[in-house]
Amino acid sequence: MKNDIDRVLFSEEQLQRRIREMGAEISRDYAGKNPTMVCILKGAVMFYTDLLRNIDVPLTMDFMAVSSYGNKTKSSGEVEIRKDLSTSIENKHVIIVEDIVDSGFTLSYLTRMLASRGAASIKLATLLDKPSRRAPGITLKSDYSGFEVGDEFVVGYGLDYAEYYRNLPYIGVLKPEVYQG
Ligand code: IMP
Ligand code: MG
């Protein structure tokens, strides 16, 4: 698996250091607010569990799965809910936790959808952002953003290519020959 990685973009240590800062910032902002932390499966799962361990205000957890790339490396622009929340978010302060903002379709759709369910507030915590890939007309900004990346496909620490590489403890770029098979 490691042989498929061209180079490491963010090491375990870099990820953990940044996530500690993000957790501290969220803890300050959400004192007394008991936020509901929504994990977008599966890509955000590593980030989610590490982030939550660095937040020291009372919070609740919930999970959602949406369709994204399938086995392709380009977003279709369509968002399908595969697994919905198991709790009500009415009057709750919601923080959506996602691995990466690419075109921005997924998170702008989810933000609108969860707002329509009567959340008291909705903010976004995202590990990675690819600002250069934002779709026309999408003006999405993450409230808590870990790192910016360029226009390249990254894997590891939850992020996959064709469902693999999620268990790498760091984030890296695949060798081109891996896509070409
Ligand atoms: P968006 O709706 O285009 O913003 O796509 C967001 C989703 O696409 C993320 O939740 C990821 O699942 C997937 N994605 C986008 N870029 C990458 C990448 O570089 N590696 C792995 N998955 C990615
Ligand atoms: Mg995803």
pLDDT grade, residue 73 (50/70/90)? low
Work out whether strand 93-101 and strand 121-129 pair parallel, antiparallel, or are unpaired: parallel
Specify the pLDDT at position 81: 93
96: CA distance to ligand 2 center in Å? 12
CB atoms within 10 A of CB 131: 16
pLDDT grade, residue 71 (50/70/90)? very low
Rounded to two decimals, the pTM is 0.94
146: CA distance to ligand 1 center in Å? 15
pLDDT grade, residue 67 (50/70/90)? confident
Report whether 147 contacts 128 (CB < 8 A): yes
User: From the CB of 126, is ligand 1 less than 6 Å away?
Assistant: no
pLDDT grade, residue 1 (50/70/90)? confident
User: From the CB of 153, is ligand 1 less than 6 Å away?
Assistant: yes
Tens of pLDDT, residue by residue over 10-24, are 999 999 999 999 999
